[in-house]
Chain A
Amino acid sequence: MNAPWRLWGRQLTGVLRLELKKSFLSRRGWWIYLLALGPVVLTASHWLISSRGHWGEHSLAEDNRVYAGIFQVFYLRLGIFFGCVGIFANLFRGEILEKTLHYYLLSPLRRELLAISKYVAGLLTAIVFFGGSAGLSYVFIHLHYGPEFEEFLFQGPGLEQLGWYLLVAVLASIGYGAVFLVLGQWFGNPMIPAAVVMVWEAINSFLPPILKKISVIFYLKSLCPVDLPPDPHGPFLSLLTLDAEPIPAWLAIPGLLVVSGAVLCYAARRARRIEISYSE
């Protein structure tokens, strides 16, 4: 049998060419760029102000914990979450709004492959934006410590922490990407289902064990390299950051990949049933 892999590879590359151009130059995506850029600007400002000695006394360990808070609260709960809503929910919906989806549907491209190619394009975009942002922010928040940061990075736990943060950012993009790809296929306006998913993720700690596993945050929390102490000012941050039931990395990573894979398979199957009705 003639293996179609070569053809599929060409088609995937073709879709990526078109999709990446749109992802990185989208006027509609300005708020996603801001979401990714925000923490970089903040941490870069922190570096500039601190390096001039205007920030007051603080330690590398404190900034390291602050970054852990930024990552868990901002990146996981807001930045990557809503960034993925913007990127993945619009992969099909955006083209329906612009009335251009039919060009793909009139190509000799398996619809499943179209869904997967679009997902890969969205994933690359999310990883560049949010992985890049998380990495840069990590460096900027510690950068003013100079040699102390270098030692922390290369002789201490810094590089490993950075690696974990990047991995979590990638896994978050994989998980939320798959979820919002499906929601973008289901709903005309994905913001309401996104809010429902957000609540679901927020109450994850209180869910029965079986339901906990149908979640992205369940797998990611355990992988964050720095634990946050309970928030003394109120339960809200603790709700978002505490990991009541940590699971080991060897289970969390494949677990998230399996859940994401299952959702992605569903999205690919559903793509087979897509019809063009731009007027709706």
Chain B
Amino acid sequence: MTEPRISFDNVSRFYGDVLGVNRVNLSIPPGVTSLVGPNGSGKTTLLNLMTGLIRPTRGQVRVLGLTPDRPEELFPQVGYCTQFDAFPRGLTGYQFLYSFLLLHGKGREQAEEQAWQALQRFNLTEAAHRKVAAYSKGMRQRLKLAHATAHQPSVLALDEPLNGLDPMARAETIALFREWGARGMHVIVSSHILHEVDRISDQVILLSHGYVVAEGQIQGVRSEVTEQPMQILIRCDRPGVLAALLFQQNHVVEAAIHPDGKGLLVRTRDADSLYLLLNRVVVENQLDVESVAPADENVHSVYQYLIGPHGGTT
């Protein structure tokens, strides 16, 4: 049986003459997937397309086999925390969640129970009976997350979900995302905070100017960026000796001794060859190697290579 996926099949969306996203082909598996890209790159457009808030100009979106233009089928499965920081007037946090759970067709008791569960999940129980208008930005953000998750969806679309959260709430929320991802939910997160994306994501989708620049697990995406040499940090006792040996290889572009004198940062065009060579060099020279790890297999580096000031996209 094939696993349920979120698919974009040659999807384009234009706002008049302005490009939102163009020719997007994606098949997103369960787990935490981060949409990464600068402002205006199409992250929110993808989430809005996925949830039917806007329709594609061309192509087709399917979420677990469902089309977003049938909200009655889609939204028992999907929750969306948007970037819009507005709430219906005059409601308390509890009334807001309860009222919208009723729209899910829940009975009064079930709606009440799930509203309290959601409030509890995001530490809002004390503020539950206060008007949302009196909430701080962080509380409103948590309420939006509570709204997106209250009906226990299996797909979560989250647009900059950590905005306005204090460090403690960020850590707790990230832990929740990871937990949901590990449980097999689809958690699609749009974020520009790259170090947090690194901590959250099973896979990333890099966007620039409405195009998908790269997608997949971050290691895979990094290895495809062949024009940028891989950076590998080798922690060892004699980095100078190692540097001299490695520099003889054509694929090694740069080798810099770490400021603490106990490591070597190597930039290479052929990481596999480097690893093979390293095994031999270490044994022959009796080097004491503490660790060998890629130094730029992270979202930040990939983002810089593909999208940032030195990136290949324009």
- Interfacial residues, chain A to chain B (CB-CB below 8 A): 7, 10-11, 13-15, 17-18, 21-22, 25-26, 98-100, 102-111, 272-273, 275-278
- 17 new A-B contacts, CB < 8 A, other than A11-B103, A276-B54, are A14-B100, A14-B102, A15-B103, A17-B99, A17-B102, A100-B87, A103-B100, A105-B71, A106-B51, A106-B79, A107-B103, A108-B74, A108-B105, A109-B103, A273-B55, A275-B55, A276-B48
Q: Binary interface profile of B, 65-84, with partner A (CB < 8 Å = 1, else 0)? A: 00001011111101110101
Answer whether A106 and B80 are a contact pair too, CB < 8 Å, given A22-B89, A25-B90: yes
In the complex, whether B52 has a CB less than 8 A from a CB of chain A is: yes
Q: How far is the CA of A273 from the CA of B51 in the complex (A)?
A: 14
List 24 A-B residue pairs with CB atoms under 8 Å apart, sorted by A's residue number: A7-B105, A10-B102, A11-B103, A13-B102, A14-B100, A14-B102, A15-B103, A17-B102, A98-B86, A98-B88, A100-B84, A100-B86, A104-B103, A105-B52, A106-B78, A108-B71, A108-B74, A109-B75, A110-B72, A275-B55, A276-B48, A276-B53, A276-B54, A278-B84
Chain B interface residue bracket vs A = 20 to 34
- Interfacial residues, chain B to chain A (CB-CB below 8 A): 15, 48, 51-55, 69, 71-76, 78-80, 82, 84, 86-91, 99-100, 102-107, 147
Residues from chain A with Cβ under 8 Å of B84 in the complex: 99-100, 102, 278
Instruction: Choose from A13, A26, A109 the contact partner of B71 (Cβ within 8 Å).
Output: A109
A10 CB → nearest B CB, Å:
5
Q: How far is the CA of A109 from the CA of B54 in the complex (A)?
A: 16
Q: Is A108 within 8 A of B86, CB to CB? A: no
Residues from chain B with Cβ under 8 Å of A11 in the complex: 102-103, 105
A280 CB → nearest B CB, Å:
9
Total inter-chain residue pairs, C-beta < 8 Å: 86
Residues from chain B with Cβ under 8 Å of A278 in the complex: 84
Q: How far is the CA of A13 from the CA of B52 in the complex (A)?
A: 24
Q: Is B54 within 8 A of A275, CB to CB? A: yes
Q: Is A14 within 8 A of B90, CB to CB? A: no
Answer whether A108 and B82 are a contact pair too, CB < 8 Å, given A18-B88, A22-B89, A102-B53: no
Closest to B69 in A: A272
Q: Is A106 within 8 A of B99, CB to CB? A: no
Q: How far is the CA of A11 from the CA of B71 in the complex (A)?
A: 13
Q: How far is the CA of A7 from the CA of B100 in the complex (A)?
A: 14
Q: How far is the CA of A13 from the CA of B101 in the complex (A)?
A: 12
Residues from chain A with Cβ under 8 Å of B91 in the complex: 21
Q: Is A108 within 8 A of B55, CB to CB? A: no
Residues from chain B with Cβ under 8 Å of A104 in the complex: 103
Q: Is B71 within 8 A of A18, CB to CB? A: no
Residues from chain B with Cβ under 8 Å of A17 in the complex: 99, 102
Residues from chain A with Cβ under 8 Å of B54 in the complex: 275-277
Instruction: Choose from A13, A99, A275 the contact partner of B86 (Cβ within 8 Å).
Output: A99
Residues from chain B with Cβ under 8 Å of A25 in the complex: 89-90
Instruction: Choose from A100, A105, A275 the contact partner of B88 (Cβ within 8 Å).
Output: A100
Top 4 nearest A-B pairs by Cβ distance? A14-B102, A108-B75, A99-B86, A107-B103
Q: Is B53 within 8 A of A108, CB to CB? A: no
Residues from chain A with Cβ under 8 Å of B100 in the complex: 14, 103, 107
Q: Is B103 within 8 A of A14, CB to CB? A: yes
Residues from chain B with Cβ under 8 Å of A7 in the complex: 105
Q: How far is the CA of A11 from the CA of B51 in the complex (A)?
A: 20
